Structures are given as structure tokens and as C-alpha cells.
Amino acid sequence: MNFAHTDPALKAVVDRWTTGADRKTMNGLLDRLGRDAAGRLSELADIADRNPPVLQQFDKAGDRVDRISYHPAYLELCRAAYNEYGLSAMSHRKGLHGWGSVPPPLAKYLASYVFVQAEFGLACPVSMTDAAARTLRMFGDPAVFSPWIDALTSTDPEHAKTGAMFMTEIQAGTDIACTETRAERDGDGWVLTGKKWFASNPDADVIITLARFPGGQDGSTRGVGMFMVPKTLDSGERNNLTIDRLKDKLGTRSMPSGEVTLDRAHALQVGELERGFRQMAE
């Protein structure tokens, strides 16, 4: 079985929108991934779905750690998605899968389409990692965010970081105008205080989120700015955020979603404060 060979719509898209060397390279990637998705990755996904992640809030000494334990099957799926196939890096990195330049957007989308036929849950953090890098590149100060962008788009398991986007709050759902998380100035940076109610990939290294800034318009999307919250500070210490619990979800059980509290969590401003929602929507 090969998911790339049994899908007539996939072949039609490749034949319609690629030519020459691009088509040859595309077919080579999809052939390899299609065979892998139908076999190894599907088997791993079934195991990961039956063994969802577990939150450990405290270590044996009683210190807060908020560590999520994953089944080895899920970790192997992560290695395949982030490192082997570089799904979150394909929009950014040159030289992947035989392309000399950054692969064409169609390659990233079709590879993701084939991968998720084996495991859909992981598509969320993979996509958020890709989008976090894009958002920081579009709106962030390169002098500040270049190292983070490099890590988010890396295929090196020793260097790569993952991203997440926390927007949903209990009183607001996805109505961003009702965001209550607050941002306060703290020296040259910011600190955020509030609760995010449905946060997928809650132990991500790089979190993009929204918060109300001083003087901003209440009850409006114009009153929220966009910020980057690192899981770990430059000192090596944990940032001031806690994972209160994981959601007991239907569907994408292999990938954790949780409730997160920000308690004066250190944050970096991304772009223009008044355009936070527009930037996040991008």
C-alpha cells in the first residue's frame, strides 16, 4: 500500500501543477512518504492514539515541572514530521528533499496531505511551528527573533524547537475581542497574566499569544497586542506559566491540548501592539 499511488486526486494535482525537475522531485518525495504513511507511520499513529500524553505537574521533590510524557510512538512520529520530512521547515529551508532552493509551497501542502492520512493530530503543532516562524519573520525584529526562527525551522533534532499559538479563553471562546489576558511593561520587555483555555501543544518552546496592553481599547480586537512567550528563559529557568490540566478530547488524542495559566510570564512584543489580532490572523 502506498497512499500516494492510490489517490487519483493527488496524481491529478501533481500532473496539473508541476513540470520537469519539480515533478520528478515531487513524485520522489510523495512516493517515499506515501509508502511510509501507509505502513510505519499508520502503525505508530494507532499506538499513539491508544496511549495519549500524560501531564506530570510536580516532580518527586514537590517542585513544579509541568512535564508532558509522550508514548515512544508519538515521539517517533514527531521525528518523522519535524526532522525526517521537515514538514514545518519546508516553507523556509533550502535544500530539502532534493530542491536546491526552498521547496515550492505545493510540495509542503501535498506532503502534509499525505502525512495526515496516517496521523492527523500532529498536523496541529507542525503547522503552528511553521506559522510561528512565518509570523516572527514577517512582524518581528530580526535582531531579536532570528535565533528563534532558525530553531523553529530546523530539522536537526538537537536544535529544533516547536511552536504554539494560544488564543482561546474561557469567557471568550475564539472571540478575540473578549480577551482578558493582560500585558504589563517590565523593563525593556513585557509580562503577561491570564488563562488560555484551549492551548494545543501546551509545552511548546515558542508560544505566540495575544494580550491586552495598557491604554488599548477594551472590548475590541484593536486592544490586543501579539507577544512571543518562550518556555525557557535565557537563564535556563522555566518561564512563569503552568499547565493546569490536559483536555480529555475526542479525535486528536495523540497530541495534547491543555489549560494554561500565565503568571507574569516573560514575553517579547511582536510587531505593532495595535495590530496584534491582524498579525495573528496572518
Q: Residue 32: what pLDDT?
A: 98
Q: Which helix (H) or strand (E) holds 149?
A: helix 142-152
Write out the three cell numbers for 181: 489576558
At residue 44 the predicted structure's pLDDT band, cuts being 50, 70 and 90, is: very high
Q: Where exactly are the structural domains of the chain? A: 8-119, 130-281
- Can you tell me the mean pLDDT for 236-260? 94
The pLDDT score that the predictor gives to residue 173 is 86
**Of all helices (H) and strands (E), which one includes residue 91?**
none
Reference 114, options 14, 15, 16; nearest CA is 14
Pairing between β-strand 224-230 and β-strand 257-269 as defined by DSSP bridges: antiparallel
What pLDDT does residue 185 have? 96
For residue 251, pLDDT beyond 90: no
pLDDT one-digit tens code per residue, 133-164: 999 999 999 999 999 999 999 999 999 999 99
Note the Cα 219 to chain centre separation in Å. 28
Which three cell numbers mark 245?
A: 490540566
What's the topology of domain 130-281? Answer: Butyryl-CoA Dehydrogenase, subunit A; domain 2 (2.40.110)
Candidates 176, 174, 150; CA nearest to 161 is: 150
Across the chain, what does the average pLDDT equal? 96
